[in-house]
A and B are shown apart, each in its own frame.
Chain A
């Protein structure tokens, strides 16, 4: 089965750094995604980690520890437009029933 846990809401200040954590329990784990979703819009892809370590992409970085079932999304130099929900999603076995399951999302509020 697959179970994903992430905080419901977080608040940070413009220009600051914020880390959004995600823990997962996924049988046959094959990767961890982060998506961003602005209110009233579709989720958009941010990052994908399958190996342990940190992947950096501009102001956003994503970290994975497979042994701990843990990931985080790090957002630097926060901007007001970063106010959104951030969805952690895990991928199960690469077989016929391959599916990507989403967590409930972390709503990030950016204060000026």
Chain B
């Protein structure tokens, strides 16, 4: 069974559209993240949620809105998509916030291409 799963894996859409990426983890973790990896392979944190509460928002345009209905799910909705949003979006999770050594487990990534 996949520990962190995200859908869709591939998404091609036109500029201006609104799209969502869904993420679920079955590891019992209480913290979930969204990372963006651009064409230069730089993996950059976007958001972090702990027990459904937004903890980190790293200067991401407000066109990006994360939603966590419960601690096992963290979805990412993107409004008015732009060409620069093309990237791989990785969902991730980790266990008990504040404890040293927590490893982040990544989903397989969602390849978003805006045309």
Contact = CB atoms under 8 A, between A and B. Distances in A.
Q: How many B residues are at the interface, by size bracket?
A: 20 to 34
Interface residues of A, number: 25
B103 A48 contact: yes
B56 interface: yes
Interface in B75-109: 90, 94, 97-101, 103-109
Contacts of A98: 55, 97-98
Contacts, number: 55
Given A41-B108, A45-B104, A97-B56, A102 B99 contact: no
Contacts of B35: 102
Given A31-B100, A45-B103, A98-B98, A105 B41 contact: yes
Contact of A30 (B41, B90, B100, B106): B100
A96 interface: yes
B55 A97 contact: yes
26 contacts: A42-B90, A42-B107, A43-B90, A43-B106, A45-B105, A48-B101, A48-B103, A50-B100, A50-B101, A85-B41, A87-B43, A94-B100, A95-B98, A97-B56, A98-B55, A98-B97, A98-B98, A99-B45, A100-B94, A102-B35, A102-B42, A102-B43, A102-B45, A104-B40, A105-B41, A105-B43
